[in-house]
Structure 1
Amino acid sequence: MRLDASGPARLPPVAPGLRIGLYGGSFNPAHLGHRHVSLVALKRLRLDRVWWMVTPGNPLKDRGELAAIDRRVERASRIADHPRIAVTDFESRIGARYTRQTLGFLTRRHPNVRFVWIMGADSLATFHRWQGFSEIAGLMPMAIVDRPGFTLTAPAARAARALAPWRIPETEAASLPDRAPPAWVFLHGPRSTLSSTALRAKPGGPA
Structure 2
Amino acid sequence: MTLRHPLRIPGITALPPSGRGMRIGLFGGSFNPIHDGHRLVVEETLRRLDLDALWVLVTPGNPLKTHNDLAPLADRVIAARQLLDNPKVRVTGFEAAHGFTYSWQTIRFLTSSLPDRRFVWIMGADNLVDFHRWERWRDIAAMVPMAIYVRPGSGRLAPVSMAASALAQWRYDETDATRLAFANPPAWVYLHGRQSALSSSAIRARRQHVKSK
Equivalent of 2:15 in 11, 16, 28:
11
1:65-80 counterparts in 2 under 5 A?
65-80=69-84
How many residues matched? Answer: 198
Instruction: Show structure 1 runs of 4+ deviating over 4 A.
Output: none
| Displacement of 1:29 | 0.5
Tell me which moved more, 113-122 or 71-80.
71-80
Query: What residue is the counterpart of 2:170 in the other structure?
Result: 166
| Displacement of 1:203 | 3.1
1:22-171 counterparts in 2 under 5 A?
22-171=26-175
Aligned residue identity for 2:196: S
Q: SS of 2:127's equivalent?
A: helix
TM-score normalised by structure 2 residue count = 0.91
| Displacement of 1:82 | 1.1
Aligned residue identity for 1:24: G
Seen in structure 2, the aligned counterparts of structure 1 residues 162 and 50 have a Cα distance that, compared at 3 Å, is: same
Q: Percent identity?
A: 52
| Displacement of 1:179 | 0.3
Query: What residue is the counterpart of 1:3 in the other structure?
Result: none
TM-score normalised by structure 1 residue count = 0.93
* C-alpha distance in 2 between matches for 1:28 and 1:135: 27
Task: Point out the structure with max Rg over C-alpha.
Answer: 2
* C-alpha distance in 1 between matches for 2:140 and 2:172: 17
Aligned residue identity for 2:44: V
